[in-house]
Structure formats: structure tokens, C-alpha cells
Structure 1
Amino acid sequence: MEITLTGITTTGAPHLGNYVGAILPAIEASRRQDVQSFYFLADYHALVKCQDPALVHRSRLEVAATWLALGLEVDNVIFYAQTDIPEILELTWILTCVTAKGLMNRAHAYKAAVAENLADPDKDPDKAVTMGLFSYPILMAADILMFKASKVPVGKDQTQHLEMARDIAARFNYLYGEHFVLPEAVVDEKASVLVGLDGRKMSKSYGNTIPLFEPEKALRKLIMRIKTNSLPPEAPKDPDTCTLFQIYQAFATADESAAIRQRYAQGIGWGEMKQVLFEYLNARLTEPRQRYQELLEKPDHIEQILKHGAARAREYSVPFLHQLRRAVGIRPLGG
């Protein structure tokens, strides 16, 4: 059976861009019966960027509640927290010992940090660069290789990590025999990349996001802040260059989008379109928002679901790590 794996980084509450770009396709995929899917909270990864314990703790709860509220089929997939699988960290060290530093030097996040540092007057390339930032592609490789995932859905900006995981796996297989499956990136070319409040890509790093389960009044307030141009209400408008339409289209059916596109051609005021978008999103999100709030009040219930998923995941990771340890020579002295 084909094995797929999806990681969800726990760095803040998910936003609309996360939903249409990654969460919705993954939720739909979780209903498939012909694959074994692993979904995990990448909470060790969160430590690379966040040193606020309260935020990390809260985000773990919020992200897990989000996926459950939106209908993740936990009986059909293995849903767990990365931190509940100790074998992943041991595998990370084993893989670190076969990974070339030159490979890590080429990681996009590390190169971006160095480039930013070199632009500063003091020219210190390693300023604020932790070993977590430098080597986290190895942890990501361990996440994937531990469960022999052959398909890993990722965004275009994550394909390098899959290439690195393949390189690391191939090096290990060359040294110690064929143990790892070489994973393939699955990039959904049709996946929407939403624009945020300021016209740039919706991203927490830009501070321009619309949180997925924002309360009704706060949701309306944020939508009213979305940047538009100065065309008057009666003027025809191009929906394909409009953030409001892009967000609407990501959630709407083809017929609904076509109807709104026609209203753009006829002329629609920005205030009216913002109200249309708010009402549509609010209606779509009201029920999952309510489920989300109910789940936040039941952290023990969520913890139980994650522990159950971890127990199932360790049915794979424990024997496989035992096999890998023997492969590298760590086995009983008498055998």
C-alpha cells in the first residue's frame, strides 16, 4: 500500500492561506482508503523559529484542534505529535552522521539567513544562526524516512527538502544497504496561494494573515482592511488582480465564482465586495469554528487522540529503528 506523510508545523494558529493551500487538500486525502497516510504535528520543528514556550504549547493545541474541527479522518489515518515518537530523534542523529555539510550549506533557509547577515554592517554570516536552523532538513528527512513514505505532499518552496531527504537516504543505503524508500514530492500545481491583507503572499512572517477561526466581528474587521485600488463603484474591475476575488474563488464553487466575476464586469463597489466575501466566509466557517472552540476546551481529548496515533506510529518506528541500529553496527555485543 502506498504511504503518504504530511507534517504540520505548530507555529501559530492556521490562517486562510494554510487552509486552501494545504489543509483542505490533506483533509480530503485523509478519506482515501487506498493509501496509509501519516499526519503529524511538527512540534520539534517549531523550536527552530520560536523560543516562546507558551506560544509553542498553545500552538500545538490550536493546530491539532484545527485539523480535527475541519474533519480529519483520524480512524483512517495515523495522526500524532512528532515529539511522541522518540525514534525520530535517534534516527535524526544517525542520518546526521551520513549527511554532508555541503548539502546543508545549500539549504534555502540557511542561505537566506546568511545573505541577510552579510547585508548588515558587521558582516557576520553566522549571526543568530542556530544548529537547529542549519540542520533541520535532516530532522525533516527523519520524519519522512522513518515511515517509508513514498509520496509527500509539499508546496513548491519545500521541494528542496524532499530532494535532500532523497540524497540522505541514498547515501545511507549506499553505506549500509537498502533500508530507506526514496520519497517523491507531490506538488499540487492547482493549489491556491492566497494574497494577504497588504497584497503580498499571506504569511505569518508578513503579519498580513486572516486567522482561519477568527471570531465573526474580528473576521469582518480584517476583511474590511484588505488593500484595494481606487476605482469607483460603477467602474468595471479585473477580478484576476483583486485579492478579494482571489480569496472568494479559493472557497467558492465554479458557478459562484462565475457569478461574482460577472458582477466585477458590471461594476461592484469595494465595500460591497468586502461584505460579500465576509458573509460567504463566515457562513462557510461558522460550524467548524464552533467545533474548534469546543475542542479547545477539551485538550485532554485531543491529547488522547494524539497518543493513540503515536502508539500506532510506533508500531512502525520501533522495529524499523531496531533494524537501522543493527545496520550501522549498534547491536548486542554477542550477536
Structure 2
Amino acid sequence: MARERILSGMRPTGRLHIGHLSVIENWVRLQEEHECYYFIADWHALTTAYDDPSELQENIRSMLVDWLSAGLNPERSTIFVQSHVKEHAELHLLFSMITPLSWLERVPTYKDQVQQLGQEGKDISTYGFLGYPLLQAADILIYRASAVPVGEDQLPHLEFCREVARRFNHLYKVPLFPEPKALLSRVALLPGIDGRKMSKSYRNDIPLGATPEEVREKVRLMITDPTRIHKSDPGHPEVCVVHTYHEIYNREEIEETRASCRAGAIGCVACKRRLADRVNEVLEPLRERRQRLLQRPELLQDILHAGAARAREVAGSTIAEVRAAMGV
């Protein structure tokens, strides 16, 4: 029985942090049972970072190393860089001929992000940014993926992809593209150390490649219960960022940690020390694998080269059928 084909990717816009780890761990689980394609979306990165691509190649390398360190296996998954498979761009172009402009303009995140990034001084009122959901659809449909692991916030994008597939199949009277389903990912949503969304730009992240000392310093700066003045004051773990991390990384001791906090039996300094130790335990195997990989740049290039070659075989077959259907 054929394995279900899965497609997912990430934009190389900066270093990965531990908020990404649960996503990658989900990918690692999927690769054991499915035919998985995971790509580094460098063209998508340019939709918002077109004015300064100076770090793009380093971000690509760093992302690959983080993926491999966290357990992605190039023998089980096809791992590649988006721009190394030109068929993505061709399918995007051909889809643009049949996609109504109104479909792109109604994507929920479009106007929100244009406004939000505009307030930060970034102009993304570009054709590329308007069309990025269509490029996403091409990324998925070029492999005729049957499922995509997504969070709930990405469901509108996947439904857009399904609409494009339906329109193509209807216009050209060919059942070429499946309508990919969502694999809702139950991944841990970690806040930044200041309680906001974790982001490199906020400097509130814990990088996957952080040293033990960096982890301890980041945890030391975490926001705790503002009502606790003294060590013996009763705490309110539900409002504490440190406790949120304990729930994910220290599950076996979470009840004891929560009770000690409420009773004022453990101070914030000791609680943070316990968390930092646990986070370092989680990251240590990744650090070791990361160091080994960084010493083998030729291996990293070989993995991307082989992944792109495998991806092009599938993408080339799809684009040939698309050309035939569209008469080009």
C-alpha cells in the first residue's frame, strides 16, 4: 500500500528557536510512516526580506543543520531548497493565469501583515507578497501531496490551495491534483521569555543552537509572577512564563512544581535553575549533532543536492502533465 505523501516547509528568515522544536519533532514522527517532502522556502523568505538577502545562504545552512540535529533523516525524507526545484516557479506562473485576483486579496493574513509590517517600516505591498499563497499552493500541488501538517492559523491558506486544485481540475477536465487535507499539528506553543510571541526580532527567543550558558541567561530573564515579592510568597503559576515552560519540558514534575509554587515552598530563582537544567538536557543531544554536522559542509551540500534531484523527478512529472493540460 502506497504511503501518504506529506509536504511542509519553513522560511529561512533567521535562526530557529525552541518554539520550532515541537514542529520539527512532529515532522520526524511523520517521516516514519509517510513519504515526506520538507523544503527550505528561500523564495518565500524573499517576500518579506527582499531588500536584504545578505544572510539568506547562512540561514539556509543553519536551518538544515537544525533540522538534521533534531532528527530529520535524509534517507527517510526528501529535504531540499525550494529554489533548487524550478518547477515550483513554473507551476506558480501557470496557476497565476487561472487564479482570480479577488482570491488572493481575501486571504485573511494579507492585509493584516501588510498593515503590521508597514507599521514597522517594511513595505511589502509587492506582487510577490500578494501572490505568496499561490506559491504555497504550487509548493504543495507540484508534489500532489495528500496532506499538509499545519496549525489552525494556516487553515485558510490550505483551503485556498484546495480551491486552486479544484479550479484547475475543473477548467482542464483532468483529475490531476488532489485536494490536500490538513494534518492539524498539536505542537507546543511557547511564549518568548518576556511573555510575547517568541521571535528573534524581539530578542526573546532561545535558539536551538544556544550554549548551556546562553540558556541559563535566557531563563534567568524570564518573566515570573509579578505579585511574588519574597521567596515565601504564594505564587500564581498560571501567569508565569517559567511555569509554561515547565509544563512542556518538565512534565513528570509539573504537579510538584506547581504545588511548591502555590505554597511558596520554592523561589523563582530555584525554579528557573531547575528549568534551565531541563532545557539544557533537551538541547544537549542537538548541540552534539550540530557540532558534528558543522564540521562536514560537504555532507550538507550532498544532502540538499540529492534531495533536490529526488524532488525534481516528482515535480517534473507533474509539470509535464500540467503543460499538456494547458496546451503549452
TM-score by length of 2: 0.91
Distance 1:151 1:64, change over 3 A: same
**1:59 aligns to what?**
59
Distance 1:62 1:112, change over 3 A: same
Aligned length: 320
Partner of 2:291, secondary structure, is: helix
Pick the aligned partner of 2:288 from 287, 290, 315.
290
Q: CA RMSD in A?
A: 2.0
TM-score by length of 1: 0.90
Partner of 2:218, secondary structure, is: helix
Partner of 1:5, secondary structure, is: strand
Name the % identity: 34
Distance 1:76 1:262, change over 3 A: same
Distance 1:29 1:316, change over 3 A: same
Distance 1:238 1:297, change over 3 A: same
1:109–1:133: 8 Å Cα contact kept in structure 2? Answer: no
Partner of 2:131, secondary structure, is: helix
Segments of structure 2 that go 5 or more residues without pairing to the other structure are: none
Partner of 1:185, secondary structure, is: strand
Distance 1:319 1:206, change over 3 A: same
2:152, 2:80 → 1: CA distance? 25
Q: Deviation string for 1:281-300 (max 9, x for gaps)?
A: 11221121122133223222
Larger mean CA deviation between 263-272 and 158-167 belongs to 263-272
Q: Where do residues 34-53 of structure 1 align in structure 2 (5 Å cutoff)? A: 35-51=34-50, 52-53=52-53
Partner of 2:55, secondary structure, is: helix
**1:251 aligns to what?**
249
Larger mean CA deviation between 10-19 and 204-213 belongs to 204-213
1:117, 1:14 → 2: CA distance? 21
Q: Where do residues 12-51 of structure 1 align in structure 2 (5 Å cutoff)? A: 12-20=14-22, 22-32=23-33, 35-51=34-50
1:140, 1:286 → 2: CA distance? 34
1:61, 1:275 → 2: CA distance? 32
Q: Deviation string for 1:198-223 (max 9, x for gaps)?
A: 21121335432111111121221111
1:5–1:144: 8 Å Cα contact kept in structure 2? Answer: yes
**1:158 aligns to what?**
154
Q: Deviation string for 1:103-144 (max 9, x for gaps)?
A: 110123321145458989xxxxx9541111111111100010
Distance 1:117 1:256, change over 3 A: closer
Q: Does 1:97 align with 2:97?
A: yes
Residue identity opposite 1:259 in structure 2:
E
2:21–2:70: 8 Å Cα contact kept in structure 1? Answer: no
2:124, 2:48 → 1: CA distance? 11
Segments of structure 1 that go 5 or more residues without pairing to the other structure are: 121-125, 331-335
1:302, 1:136 → 2: CA distance? 28
**1:142 aligns to what?**
138
Residue identity opposite 1:24 in structure 2:
E
Structure 1 runs (4+) deviating above 3 angstroms are: 113-120, 204-207
